């Protein structure tokens, strides 16, 4: 923005995200767990802006959800994905890209636990591997005063937020209490309910009973709101963003001339002027 501002150049900003995944009380847990495993950056290992960082699970199903998903996270195989240098490549997830991000993640997890979050697994570097490996982590009882509920994690952390009393309105308040607004996902047995919730979420994109598919549909605009940026790429909106649009007016039927209304010539003559000209310019003069 600072580079564009001196020359008044337009720009598109696709910035960070802290995407929510809403899991309503009417879902089938077994159907949702595979999506929840895929979404929180376990596979991309932090290198995905549209990875889910906040899972909003309705209170009545949260215990069952955690009982189903924690063993799966613990079972993830971590290591070097290439079958070389003594490695068999038989892994689910790899290492972090940026060394400094390991320190950031550790600090965020520590802050959350100190403020009451429950650590189910992970939460630390993988000391059994040589490299930038952070163990797949699940945290629950995340609240708004924890840094991890507000700041981007960019790591293999699943943060589960309880939706009290299975309240849709309460869920929306929790989801929108965030400075980012890139993407969002909503899961419900009722598509109408999921759409209603999705419409109330402040984000640039939302998927109903799916995750991240909007990125694969290149005819759709991609981008966010709030601190997730502005403008769009992909889709017609993305093409227009690379152009300077202008308005052009031409005669619909070239060569056709009419005498009604008559041209307004200056100085105005009463017989030539329209009503507004007669009243506004002549009568009041």
At residue 2 the predicted structure's pLDDT band, cuts being 50, 70 and 90, is confident
d(CA 76, CA 138) in angstroms, rounded, equals 12
d(CA 208, CA 211) in angstroms, rounded, equals 8
pLDDT tens sequence across 125-179: 998 888 899 999 999 999 999 999 999 998 899 999 999 999 999 999 999 999 9
pLDDT tops 90 at residue 188 = yes
Spatial CA neighbour of 220 closest among 194, 238, 195: 238
d(CA 136, CA 121) in angstroms, rounded, equals 7
CA dihedral over 187, 190, 191, 194, signed as positive or negative: negative
At residue 91 the predicted structure's pLDDT band, cuts being 50, 70 and 90, is confident
pLDDT tops 60 at residue 43 = yes
Higher pLDDT pick, 249 / 88: 249
The rounded mean pLDDT for the chain is 88
H or E element, residue 207: strand 207-208
What are residue 43's phi and psi, to 5 degrees?
Answer: -80, -45
How many Cβ atoms from other residues are within 10 Å of residue 267's Cβ?
5
The reported pTM is 0.83
CA dihedral over 92, 56, 50, 46, signed as positive or negative: negative
Quick one: average pLDDT of 56-85? 91
């Amino acid at each position: 923005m600072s580079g564009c501002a001196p020359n008044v150049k337009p720009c598109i900003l696709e910035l960070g995200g802290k995407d929510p995944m809403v899991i309503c009380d009417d879902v089938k847990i077994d159907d949702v767990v595979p999506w929840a495993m895929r979404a929180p950056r376990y596979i991309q290992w932090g290198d995905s802006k549209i990875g889910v960082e906040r899972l909003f699970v309705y209170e009545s199903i949260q215990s069952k959800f955690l009982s189903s998903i924690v063993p799966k996270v613990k079972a993830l195989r971590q290591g070097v994905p290439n079958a070389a240098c003594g490695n068999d490549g038989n892994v689910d997830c790899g290492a972090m890209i940026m060394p400094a991000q390991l320190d950031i993640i550790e600090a965020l997890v520590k802050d959350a636990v100190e403020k009451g979050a429950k650590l189910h697994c992970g939460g630390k570097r993988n000391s059994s591997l040589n490299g930038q490996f952070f163990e797949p982590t699940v945290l629950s009882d995340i609240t708004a005063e924890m840094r991890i509920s507000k700041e981007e994690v960019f790591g293999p952390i699943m943060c589960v937020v309880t939706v009290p009393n299975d309240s849709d309105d309460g869920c929306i308040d929790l989801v929108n209490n965030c400075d980012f607004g890139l993407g969002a996902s909503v899961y419900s047995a009722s598509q109408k309910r999921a759409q209603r919730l999705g419409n109330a979420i402040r984000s640039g994109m939302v998927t109903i009973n799916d995750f991240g598919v909007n990125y694969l549909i290149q005819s759709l605009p991609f981008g966010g709101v709030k601190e997730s940026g502005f403008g769009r790429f992909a889709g017609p909106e993305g093409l227009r963003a690379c152009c300077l649009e202008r308005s052009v007016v031409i005669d619909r039927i070239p060569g056709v001339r009419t005498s009604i209304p008559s041209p307004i010539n200056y100085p105005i003559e009463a017989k030539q002027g329209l009503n507004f000209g007669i009243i506004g310019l002549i009568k009041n003069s």
